[in-house]
C-alpha cells in the first residue's frame, strides 16, 4: 500500500517528549531548547545526578520534567525503560534517540564487550525503543522521531569502522521509516552532526577538528529540532559537513576509505 506524504508535526507544544542521552552535549542542549511549559520532557541518561540537576533547572522555568536514569548500552534496557515510562503514566508523542558513543582505534584493540555495548546503544536499543513507542504515536497521528546519526554514516571509516557502520544503520533505518510512515502521522528525521563541541571526542579518543571548526552543541540541537518540525527526511548539520559527507558518499569507495584511514589513524593525535 502507498501512502501520501503527511503533514509534518509543526510544534512541540503539548507533546510528551522522550529524549535519550539527555545529560550532556547535544541531548542536554535539546532539553533546554524544548523548555515549553505546555510540554512534558522525559529525560534519560546514565547520570542520575546530572538528570536531577537538569530537572531542577528546567522546572524553575515551568517545564514538566520526569527523569529515568538508564544505561541503554545494556541488552533489554529499552524495553525496561519504556515499561517504567508507561507505569509512570506517560506515552511519548516525540522520541529523540540521541544517546550514542564511538570507539576510535584498531579493531583488534577494542574489547568485544566494548563493541557490543556500543552497538547495543547505537543500534539495538534505538530500534527497540522506537518500536515500543510506535503504537501510541500511530494512535496520536501527530508524532515525531528524531534519530541522531553522524557524518560518519555516509562512508566507511577505517579505525572508526564499527561506530561509522552503526550510524549508517541509523541513517538508512530512519530514511526507510520516513517513507513507511508517511501519511500515517509520524515524521521520522535523521540528524547527522559533524565534529561538535561535546565530550564525545574524549570518550572516543577521536580528532576534534577534521573539516573546519567544530560546531556548538546548541547549534546542532537547533538544526535537528527544526529539521523534524520541517518534515525533513535527513539533515546534516553545517555546510562544510554537508559537502564533505556528500563527497565521501559519492566518491569511489577506495578514495573515501583512504581519506577516512588518514583522518582517523590511531597514530594521528586526537586533539
Catalytic residues: 163
| Rounded Cα distance, 249 and 154, in Å | 5
Phi, psi of 8 (to 5 degrees): -65, 155
**Residue 231 region, left (φ>0) first, then alpha (ψ -120 to 50), else beta?**
left
Could you tell me the CA-to-CA distances from 224 to 36, 74, 90, 134, 220 in Å, in that order? 17, 26, 24, 20, 6
Chain position carrying cell 531548547: 33
Chain position carrying cell 571526542: 201
Query: Strand, helix or coil at 250?
Result: helix
Q: Return the bridge partners of 67, or none.
A: 43
How many helices (H) and strands (E) the chain has is answered by 10, 7
Query: Strand, helix or coil at 194?
Result: coil
DSSP code of 70?
Answer: -
Alpha helix (H) residue ranges in 67-124? 77-87, 112-119
**Residue 264 region, left (φ>0) first, then alpha (ψ -120 to 50), else beta?**
alpha
Chain position carrying cell 530537572: 55
DSSP code of 43?
Answer: E
Q: Write the burial class of residue 37 (CB in 10 Å: 0-12 exposed, 13-18 middle, 19+ buried).
A: exposed
Amino acid at each position: 500500500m502507498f501512502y501520501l506524504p503527511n503533514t509534518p508535526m509543526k510544534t512541540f507544544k503539548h507533546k510528551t517528549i522522550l529524549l535519550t542521552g539527555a545529560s550532556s552535549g547535544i541531548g542536554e542542549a535539546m532539553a533546554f531548547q524544548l523548555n515549553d511549559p505546555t510540554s512534558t520532557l522525559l529525560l534519560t541518561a546514565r547520570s542520575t545526578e546530572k538528570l536531577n540537576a537538569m530537572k531542577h533547572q528546567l522546572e524553575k522555568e515551568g517545564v514538566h520534567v520526569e527523569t529515568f536514569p538508564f544505561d541503554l548500552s545494556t541488552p533489554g534496557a529499552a524495553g525496561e525503560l519504556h515499561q517504567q515510562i508507561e507505569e509512570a503514566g506517560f506515552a511519548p508523542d516525540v522520541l529523540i534517540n540521541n544517546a550514542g558513543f564511538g570507539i576510535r582505534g584498531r579493531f583488534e584493540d577494542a574489547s568485544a564487550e566494548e563493541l557490543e555495548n556500543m552497538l547495543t546503544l547505537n543500534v539495538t536499543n534505538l530500534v527497540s525503543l522506537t518500536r515500543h513507542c510506535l503504537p501510541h504515536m500511530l494512535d496520536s497521528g501527530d508524532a515525531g522521531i528524531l534519530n541522531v546519526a553522524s557524518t560518519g554514516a555516509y562512508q566507511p571509516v577505517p579505525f572508526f569502522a564499527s561506530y561509522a557502520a552503526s550510524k549508517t544503520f541509523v541513517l538508512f533505518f530512519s530514511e526507510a521509516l520516513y517513507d513507511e510512515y508517511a501519511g500515517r502521522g509520524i515524521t521520522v528525521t535523521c540528524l547527522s552532526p559533524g565534529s561538535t563541541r561535546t565530550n564525545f571526542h574524549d570518550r572516543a579518543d577521536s580528532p576534534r577538528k577534521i573539516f573546519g571548526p567544530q560546531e556548538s552543541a546548541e547549534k546542532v540541537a537547533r538544526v535537528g529540532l527544526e529539521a523534524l518540525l520541517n518534515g525533513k527526511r535527513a539533515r546534516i548539520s553545517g555546510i562544510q559537513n554537508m559537502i564533505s559527507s556528500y563527497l565521501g558518499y559519492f566518491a569511489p569507495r577506495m578514495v573515501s576509505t583512504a581519506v577516512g584511514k588518514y583522518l582517523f589513524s590511531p597514530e594521528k593525535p586526537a586533539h
